[in-house]
A and B are shown apart, each in its own frame.
Chain A
Amino acid sequence: MPSEHSHDHDHSEVPSDLALRVKALESLLVEKGLVDPAALEILIDTYETKVGPRNGAKVVAHAWSDPDYKARLLADGSKAIAEFGFDGRQGKDIVVVENTEQVHNMVVCTLCSCYPWPVLGLPPVWYKASPYRARAVRDPVGVLKDFGVTLPEDVEIRVWDSTAELRYLVLPQRPAGTEGLSEADLAELVTRDSMIGTGLAKQPGAGGTP
């Protein structure tokens, strides 16, 4: 399916025929009371948080383990991610930005909800909501605080605004004390929020949920 998106038109990106057919079914079924939209939301949320971000977590864990891969990932995110076979139609232009001791990156889409879903699954509800979209640029420190993240004052926060053509994936910092871990164990430490930049990777043995 060719993408018709370009910079010089002003209407919303028209979804694919398949997506429109699903939308038609969903809106009719919800209107008739045959499915509960809240239950749908819970189910989709389960998959966006538990399944989708696993792709990204694999990419991050591999980058932590293999310096050559990390260099390729930072040089050309889409191409390096495609090495894993994650290259959905809209995943073609993914830029990976690296968190360091000096820089913390955070991703938003101020216009709508553009999101690197081949690596992160479906965007969480808060990502699509206007409070996050509005505040992420204006008050990133406050937003991070709401997510329970406090960074040292000398860390520069960079906020990246996604577009339909360009999406960002944050490469979080590898937690200390993880030298001996396998890639699979490392991937367990990579949360969805850490790849959006509204969280940090988990500490080994910390457990808990993203």
Chain B
Amino acid sequence: MSTPATPALPGQPGDEAGPVFREPWEAQAFALAVELSAAGHFTWNEWAETLGAEIKAAQAAGDPDLGDTYYHHWLAALERLTAEKGLVVPDDRRSRRDAWEQAYRDTPHGRPVELKKRP
């Protein structure tokens, strides 16, 4: 089994084996970017440029960027690039996010959380 090559990016938290995640969503966001690139929806360079721009913008807005917000920028870049590439419409993304939140609120603890209806 091989995993797609994931060139290390400057500032990415990690150790000698690769990236390290603080929370599950970080790994999911990481995997989405890697898989979208592997599937040819954007190049890894395009990804790095978008991420770099997000990090710069966040720094300009006052984020000390100590690594703990790295995946916040990663997610922002993912949202931006999927919109720019026409993969996901931002409005769809926002309504889906709210639908998931509602699904969690409506689901008893311990039961699988599922969306009621697909918009």
Which A residues are closer than 8 A to B by beta carbons? 10-29, 31-32, 34-36, 39-40, 42-44, 46-48, 50-52, 54-55, 88-90, 111-112, 117-118, 121-122
Contact = CB atoms under 8 A, between A and B. Distances in A.
A27 B27 contact: no
A117 B18 contact: no
A111 B46 CA distance: 42
Nearest to A163: B109
A29 B87 contact: yes
Contacts, number: 146
Q: How large is the interface on B (under 10, 10 to 19, 20 to 34, 35 or more residues)?
A: 35 or more
Given A26-B28, A88-B23, A15 B104 contact: yes
Which 5 pairs, one residue from A and one from B, show the smallest C-beta to C-beta distance? Answer: A19-B25, A24-B97, A24-B96, A111-B110, A43-B31
B8 interface: no
Contacts of A117: 23-24
A39 B8 CA distance: 20
Given A10-B108, A29-B82, A47-B18, A22 B38 contact: no
B107 A22 contact: no
A27 B82 contact: no
B35 A13 contact: no
A208 B21 CA distance: 24
Contacts of B97: 17, 20-21, 23-24
Contacts of A47: 18-19, 21, 27, 30-31
A63 to B, nearest CB: 20
Given A18-B72, A29-B88, A54-B15, A40 B32 contact: yes
